[in-house]
Amino acid sequence: MIDLHSHSTFSDGSLTPEALARKAAEIGLTAMALTDHDCTSGVPRFMAACASHGIEGIPGVEISADVKKGTLHVLGYLIEVGHESLESVLVRIRQGREIRNREILDKLQRLGMSLSWEDVASLADEEVVGRPHFAQALKAKGYVKSKEDAFERYLAKGKPAYADRFRLSPQDSIAALHAAGGLAVLAHPFTLDADRKGLREIVAGLKEAGLDGVEAYYSEHSPEQTQQYVAVARDLDLVAVGGSDFHGDANPAIRLGRGFGSLNVPDDVVTELRRRWRRKRGERAR
Ligand SMILES: [Zn+2]
Ligand SMILES: [Zn+2]
């Protein structure tokens, strides 16, 4: 049993890298990847912990890319951790949310509203501050009738207090992962919200940009979806990989290695992933 998609306390998971590796050993995983959101800082600790348990650790990351419809995440595997160009891009993505929040606040203040950062942050509690908290603060101050009203008048895309957040395009995400010597894989294709034909077109387009694989096996994929994504990968000569997207107690319904219970990522996925990685490295060296 293997699992190539998991999150630690370095992004939004509840287990440390060491606790993740320990859990993997307990349930008998032979290979596992850590793929924290926009962050590789947990990988060195994860790799060391995997080695101590005799598990094949795979360094990874998950980048949230900019896309018009749905959600597009790109998984990076076998990346060189600490690689300068990748790290600088990840830092920029992480700072993007903060910068965006400051811009929204600034715009609201310039529109004449008396609103402080504390007014908004106090509503977020432990959560990461986002637009819903601004909406709540505007309502609390009596500037809008409801949260929906706040979005309609100020916060929605195209409205006077809207600010965009920095994200890489899918193509640039792939390039950043390649620059760090890794492979780029389209995560959980179902979140693209595309029909069969549309999905194939998107994946074919990403392959043009160098995509190496598709995450076909995933906790939330139905057997039909898994079949469809495996077929797309095969047709386009991409590697079909998979994982649970384990977050620990942050999403307790999903189990490491088994997802909702029936996830079963074939062991030879790792062999194929490494084979492609070696081939690419050879091509780059020439
Ligand atoms: Zn994701
Ligand atoms: Zn994930």
Mean pLDDT of 154-183: 94
**Each residue's pLDDT tens digit, 45-59:** 999 999 999 999 999
For 57, residues 6+ apart whose C-beta sits below 8 A from its C-beta are 21, 31, 32, 33, 34, 46, 47, 49, 50, 51
Distance from residue 55's CA to the centre of ligand 1 (Å): 23
Distance from residue 114's CA to the centre of ligand 1 (Å): 37
Distance from residue 64's CA to the centre of ligand 1 (Å): 7
**Each residue's pLDDT tens digit, 200-221:** 999 999 999 999 999 999 999 9
Give pLDDT, residue 94. Answer: 87
Distance from residue 10's CA to the centre of ligand 1 (Å): 15
Distance from residue 143's CA to the centre of ligand 1 (Å): 35
Rounded to whole angstroms, the Cα distance separating 227 from 231 reads 6
Q: How many CA atoms lie within 13 A of 166 on its CB side?
A: 15
Give the ligand at the shortest distance from the Cα of 35: 2
**Each residue's pLDDT tens digit, 83-113:** 999 999 999 998 998 899 999 999 999 999 9
Distance from residue 245's CA to the centre of ligand 2 (Å): 5
Q: What is the pTM of this model?
A: 0.86
Distance from residue 13's CA to the centre of ligand 2 (Å): 9
Rounded to whole angstroms, the Cα distance separating 93 from 39 reads 9
* Three-state SS at 250: helix
Rounded to whole angstroms, the Cα distance separating 64 from 190 reads 15
**Each residue's pLDDT tens digit, 166-177:** 899 999 999 999
Q: How far is CA 109 from the centre of its chain?
A: 33
Give pLDDT, residue 127. Answer: 62
Distance from residue 30's CA to the centre of ligand 1 (Å): 23
Distance from residue 113's CA to the centre of ligand 2 (Å): 37
Helix 84-110 and helix 117-124, axial crossing angle in degrees, nearest 10: 120
Distance from residue 192's CA to the centre of ligand 2 (Å): 14
* Three-state SS at 95: helix
